[in-house]
Amino acid sequence: MKRDLEQRLKRIEALYERPGSEGERQAAARALSKLRKKMQVVRVYQKVTIREYQFEQFDRKV
């Protein structure tokens, strides 16, 4: 997933940097912003360690 996002980021950056209409440039800027946010989320989730807990229920007779 991360590799796919990086490839998309490179393509959008190329669109942003090439000469084109102002509308294309603004659309590319918005797409870059969204994609960078997604990539930040991916980085955060990669750092998180998932721990599994197993809970047992004990029958208590009072």
Q: What is the pLDDT of residues 4-61, one digit of tens each?
A: 878 888 888 888 788 788 888 888 888 888 888 888 887 777 776 666 666 677 766 6
Cα Rg, the chain, nearest whole Å: 22
Residue 61 located in a structural domain: no
The pTM of the whole model exceeds 0.75:
no
Residue 62 lies in a domain: no
Q: Are 25 and 16 in contact (CB under 8 A)?
A: yes
Give domain status of residue 32, yes or no: yes
**Residue-number span of the structural domain to which 41 is assigned:** 2-47
* Number of domains, the chain: 1
In a domain, 7, yes or no: yes
Query: Does residue 54 form part of some domain?
Result: no
Other CB atoms within 10 Å distance of the CB of residue 52: 4
Contact between 42 and 34 under an 8 Å Cβ cutoff? The reply is no
d(CA 60, CA 41): 44
Residue 57 counted as domain residue: no
Taking the C-alpha atoms of residue 49 and residue 23, their distance in angstroms, rounded to an integer, is 42
